[in-house]
Amino acid sequence: MDAVSTQIWSAHDYAANARFVADLAGEAVALLAPRAGERILDLGCGDGALTSELSRSGAFVVGVDAAPELIAAARERGLEVRLQDGAALPFEREFDAVFSNAALHWMKDPAAVIAGVARALVPRGRFVGEFGGHGNVAAIVVALSAVLARRGIDGAALTPWYFPTAAEYRRLLEAGGFAVESIGLHARPTHLPTDMAGWLRTFANPFFAPLDANDRAAALEETLALLRGVLSDDGGRWTADYVRLRFAARLI
């Protein structure tokens, strides 16, 4: 996750509301195909749940993340992790692969991220990842924007997220020196283990930051009211309208 984001992370909320982030990474991990003995950088490792799974392949995995709370949680798992802004990676030809799951959409300077990844890789190294692509959480973004517009606030100016099209991200990868082996958008509606209030609290707090404490609860209720008919079923079970951008690229 990116240091310049206004998002505030809570390891407790993340564990309660976002365990599925690691659980649903199977296709991205299969695309990475980690091998024993390789050196892999997990970019935006969060609380390390997936980093730990990658390590089981026998690869040497280093995790980086810009959120101190999440890095502390990852360190408690015994992982090798560093607090690091994804747009300023300090590594030089150290990794066979850079992997990233559900993190690149928090990094709003993608060209700087890709340049750092290219520096971190050995020649012909792989960059494999999955993150929110164009249209990701569109209903949620519209509901948040509508609630803020009622208060005269421009929601677009507050968004901490970057959701590119496949064509845009391919262009950036190629400009950064990568050959793109595969890239595409995949709709993946995702059942939430808790509810939309938990998801918004965990992931969308920058939208509520300009509101005073009294108004925050009201704005949250208004957002939930707008979303209920679209993303909640008869039994009150919530789904987030996720769209993943999954890619594999190789340094030329």
Binding site for ligand BEZ (CB under 6 A): 102, 105, 132, 136-137, 161, 203, 242
CB of 134 to ligand BEZ, least distance (A): 11
Nearer to ligand BEZ, 127 or 163 (CB): 163
Nearer to ligand BEZ, 25 or 118 (CB): 25
Nearer to ligand BEZ, 120 or 200 (CB): 200
CB of 185 to ligand BEZ, least distance (A): 12
CB of 239 to ligand BEZ, least distance (A): 13
Residue with tokens 């595409």: 184
Closest CA to 148 of 219, 85, 218, 215: 219
CB of 118 to ligand BEZ, least distance (A): 24
How far apart (Å, rounded) are the C-alpha atoms in residues 9 and 22?
16
**Amino acid of residue 186:** H
Q: Are 45 and 64 in contact (CB under 8 A)?
A: yes
How far apart (Å, rounded) are the C-alpha atoms in residues 59 and 38?
5
Closest CA to 245 of 177, 162, 145: 162
How far apart (Å, rounded) are the C-alpha atoms in residues 128 and 32?
6
Radius of gyration of the chain (CA): 18
Nearer to ligand BEZ, 63 or 132 (CB): 132
How far apart (Å, rounded) are the C-alpha atoms in residues 235 and 200?
20
Q: Are 93 and 120 in contact (CB under 8 A)?
A: yes
> What is the token pair recorded at 185?
């958008």
CB of 51 to ligand BEZ, least distance (A): 16
CB of 115 to ligand BEZ, least distance (A): 23
> What is the token pair recorded at 146?
């509508």
Nearer to ligand BEZ, 19 or 39 (CB): 19
Nearer to ligand BEZ, 105 or 170 (CB): 105
